[in-house]
Amino acid sequence: MISLKQIKYALAVDQHRHFKKAAEACNVSQSALSTAINEMEKQLGMQLFERNNKQVLTTVDGNPVLAKAKRIKLEVDELMELAQSNKAPLSRPMTIGAIPTIGPYMLPKVLPEVRKQYPNFKLQIMEEQSHVLVDLVRNGDIDAAVLALPYPTEGLMSMTFWEEDFHWVSHKDESPESLDEITSEELELETLMLLKDGHCLKDHALVACSLQNQKQKSDFDSTSLHTLVQMVAGKLGTTLVPQMALDQLIYNESELRAVHLNEPGPHRTIALVFRPNYVRTNELTLLMDIFTKQLDIKCKPKT
């Protein structure tokens, strides 16, 4: 009979595509892991992996078996979670992912209150781009993810807890002091700097400005909002920043000015994304309530 241990080892090999790395991830010797995989393949009467000195590949026949193994492991994990569901809320560890344009700006605002209300709660944060986090949630590798919607999350559930607008950021020497609103038609696209392709914040900014069919004209390409703002401070262009990031990126920079983007909003919706059968949804709701209240307190635009 196939054991859960064998399933765990096989999924580790499938993930790492390397027997030694898979063994390290499972905290076992490579020989023990290889023996378990070989025995599993004998029991199944098929080869799951092609291996040589350079790489490990999943066989054509092995792909549906490993897909089923992932579902089995996820069901077992949920069974164990269900058995613990009578314990006090947020008394067990949880791993939540966050994208780079949310995590650094939201988490410092909300986590102190989480720690205050639930001092024994162990929350691990993983920062990755949206597509990586969606796969991790689907596979049961993390409990949930904080994403900016809209974003493709087929097969998953989502709960919205924050909505916000973008603000146009420029050097104070390059915008009138009296300006407090700006429309997309008033933006100078030649100087507008946005994150590089692959970041959903760029997509949301383009949609908010009705520019999704226009190519960004700036030669500057960045993966960091902080870097973009520093480029603005150097008078190399302008950018768009979400409301929750203003206090950390803008208000300590006396030479910068943030102006609300006067386009129909909200321009970005923030949500927790999780699996449909996730058994700790009530605990995610508790976290969301804290997130919303703290963001309401700390992210209102300054006047």
- Give the pairing of strands 166-171 and 238-242: antiparallel
Q: Are residues 155 and 207 in the same domain?
A: no
Cα(190)–Cα(196) distance, rounded to whole angstroms?
Answer: 16
Say how far apart CA 157 and CA 138 lie, in whole Å. Answer: 10
Contact 281, 289 (CB under 8 A): no
- The segment with the largest mean pLDDT, out of 41-50, 267-276, 293-302, is 267-276
Per DSSP, the three-state class of 72 is: helix
- The answer to whether residues 76 and 102 belong to one domain is no
CATH value at residue 53: 1.10.10.10
Three-state SS for 175?
coil
Same domain, residue pair 238 and 171:
yes
pLDDT at position 274, please? Answer: 96
274 domain-assigned: yes
Inside any domain, residue 54: yes
Looking at the 3D structure of the chain, how many domains does it have? 3
Whether the CA torsion 249, 200, 130, 161 is positive or negative: it is positive
Q: Which of 60, 83, 106 marks a domain boundary?
A: 83
Looking at the structure, do residues 179 and 150 belong to the same domain, yes or no?
A: no
Q: Which of 33, 62, 83 is the last residue of a domain?
A: 83
Domain stop point among 56, 83, 110: 83
Domain, as residue range, for 186: 166-261
pLDDT at 80: 72
- Tokens 């966050």 map to which residue? 98
Number of neighbouring beta carbons within 10 Å of residue 134: 21
pLDDT value at residue 171: 92
CA 229 to CA 227: how far, in whole Å? 5
181-216 pLDDT, tens digit each: 999 998 888 889 988 877 788 889 888 888 765 555
- For residue 199, being part of any structural domain is answered with yes
Average pLDDT, the chain: 88
Interatomic CA distance for residues 135 and 128, integer angstroms? 11
- CATH number of the domain to which 183 belongs: 3.40.190.10
Say if residues 16 and 25 touch (Cβ distance below 8 Å). Answer: yes
Domain shared by 177 and 139, yes or no: no
Domain-located, residue 88: no
pLDDT digits (tens, 9 = 90+) for 32-82: 999 999 999 999 999 999 887 778 888 988 899 998 888 888 888 777 776
* C-alpha neighbours within 13 Å on the C-beta side of residue 300: 5
pTM, two decimals, is 0.74
CB 204 within 8 A of CB 148: yes
Residue 89 belongs to some domain of the structure:
no
Task: Clarify whether residues 70 and 21 are in a common domain.
Answer: yes
Q: What is the mean pLDDT of residues 21-30?
A: 90
Structure tokens at 65: 């078996």
Do residue 213 and residue 126 come from a single domain?
no
pLDDT tops 80 at residue 223: no
Percent of the chain with pLDDT over 90: 50
Shared domain check, 62 and 39: yes
Mean pLDDT of the region 269-291: 94
Question: Region 173-177: what's the mean pLDDT?
Answer: 83
Type of residue numbered 140: G
Q: How many CB atoms lie within 10 A of CB 193?
A: 22
- Tens-digit pLDDT profile for residues 83-130: 666 677 898 899 999 999 999 999 999 999 999 999 999 999 999 999
180/246 same-domain check: yes
Instruction: Give residue 303's pLDDT.
Output: 47
Which span out of 10-14, 253-257, 293-297 was modeled with the highest average pLDDT? 293-297
